[in-house]
Amino acid sequence: MKGISEYSKSPPPPFSKRGDSPLLFTNDLKFPRISSKFGSIRSSFPALYPLPSTLYPVVLLPTLTSLLLILSYPKFNQGWLAWFALAPLTVAVWKAKDLKTALLGGLAAGFFFYLGILYWIYPTMRAGGVNVPVSLAGWAALSLTLSVEFLVVSVFGFYLKKPGRAVWPYMFAAGWTLMEWLKILVTLKGVWFPWFMLGYTQWGSPKIIQIVSVTGTYGLSFAVALSGALLGCALMRKGGIWKKAYGLLPALILIGGLFAFGTAGLKKAGGAKLKGQAAFSMLQPSIELYQKWDERYARGIEERIERLLERAGASKIIVWPENALPGWIDEPQCRDWLKKVSAGTGTFNIVGSVSQGDGKHVAAFLLDEKGSVAASYYKRRLVPFGEYVPLRELLGRYLSVVSELGEFEKGTLNQKLFEADGVKMGIGICYESVFPYLARSDVSKGADLLVNVTNDGWYLDTAAPYQHFLANIFRAAENRKSLVRAANNGISALIDPWGRISAKTALNDYTILNVNAPLYENPGKTFYVEHGDWFCWLCLLLAGAFLLALVFI
């Protein structure tokens, strides 16, 4: 075997008559092996430094997938790249000679993706007073933990190679979809951070995303993953360019079908009969996050909100962001001020706050025209390490900062809808928007409209507020309901039932957004609302049947 210096001096192999490409994705994809000069290092530290036997499937190809995925999400917003993003990883998994190579490739893809896309973890922790070593360690640890998603999908794909490449892309896409479903389900009883779904990359293509009303966002994620897997397999096909292009035909048919379905859906939307509009005002006070709990700033915060309330106009419902009050709603001074200013508007107010009346809760309250509390909602899905600490006692032994983090109680899954001015509303707080089953549950109970209140001031001027915002687009489109969002520092918005942004604010603006949210006559429940995660169950059935066939046939 040649060393690196010898390998670099060797002339490139000639292209065959079959039309081999000089690009990275050659027909045979023979990866150069690591130099034997590293053998002494490897033998000295066999456990600590298990160097991979091939460079491309472990590092280069997975890292290319990471880069393409990062560019697909905000702030880059190059969603078209997502359709190709998984191709390098699928090539790496297919070409992996053993399980270890596939495992390391998946781990690398996941780690570098999350390290890049969650770069905002570091400045967020630093802004909260966490020191540099702990901030860096937290960022890296979270990225490494979440990379398990890619690792599992890669191992799944590795074991399903036996029948050949004709079926394999579909099974790989099914595995990806099941992983997205699993990380949502895990949060029912455990802890995860399901911030990203592959389908979210298509937020800027209203025609493409209409399929989510049938399959949920899982179906769109499947389509994007399948496209990448088909491309990867096409690049590995032997033969000329036309034979490779033929392998992409299913992907082109799939994308064309999504486009046609979405075009028809939006055309039908144009003829939907409007039964009325709900006049909303969303407050965006842009309060400095670390001033909220400092009594010196309390009056200044109240004045900022009062000035915005004066601009609410003829709105029937005013929505305040999450944790808008400069204190607990149970505190007499805070409660009295809130009642006075909300009664002064003469209309309904939905106010995000924290409560400690019957346990500490992150909450939203519906206040009637007189400023009295008419209904309350307790957040059902809390933010790990922000609103509660998993394994607090264990982690507290090693990290003193853990004892300083907040601890709230979560609300029950089944809570009553808010109703104001004849409009029934399903409420979500902060990152509850990333859980499809919560919004679907509210719509199943009769919600006419969805409301999200949040405080993204934690994330400063990073990509995080934009990433967080995307989930709301898909909750609106899945359920065919308008969604209004009030965010402390942005992005506040009105999203129509087809996932189109009708109005929105800029990040960090001090403003109020007055909108008329459309309500349609007899819209009916979408297929997704009626049947839930049926597409995920289908993926599970097919993948399970396929695995059983491999074992017993």
241 sits in which H/E element: helix 241-246
C-alpha to C-alpha distance for 504 and 484, rounded to whole angstroms: 10
C-alpha to C-alpha distance for 202 and 75, rounded to whole angstroms: 13
Q: Pick the catalytic residue: 316, 379, 481, 504? A: 379
| C-alpha distance from residue 180 to each of 93, 219, 286, 371, 546 (Å) | 19, 11, 33, 42, 19
Q: Count of H helices and E strands in the chain?
A: 22, 12
With H, G, I as helix, E, B as strand and everything else as coil, classify residue 359.
strand
The answer to whether 394 and 374 are in contact (CB under 8 A) is no
C-alpha to C-alpha distance for 486 and 268, rounded to whole angstroms: 29
**Cα radius of gyration (the chain):** 26
Amino acid type, 521: E
Whether residue 419 lies in the annotated active site: no
Q: Pick the catalytic residue: 244, 316, 430, 432? A: 430
Q: Pick the catalytic residue: 95, 180, 292, 322? A: 322
Give the contacts of 192 (CB within 8 A, at least 6 positions apart): 146, 183, 186
The answer to whether 510 and 284 are in contact (CB under 8 A) is yes
Whether residue 430 lies in the annotated active site: yes
Alpha-helical (H) ranges within 49-201 are 61-72, 82-85, 87-95, 99-117, 121-127, 132-146, 148-159, 168-189
Strand segments (E) across 219-360? 274-284, 317-319, 348-355
Largest CA distance in the chain: 84
Paired strand residues for 277: 518
Only one residue has tokens 């001020």, namely 337
Strand segments (E) across 393-535? 418-420, 423-429, 449-454, 483-487, 493-495, 501-504, 511-520
Whether residue 322 lies in the annotated active site: yes
3-state SS string over 329-356?
A: CCCHHHHHHHHHHHHHHCCEEEEEEEEC
| Distance, first Cα to last Cα, the chain | 39
The catalytic site residues sit at: 322, 379, 430
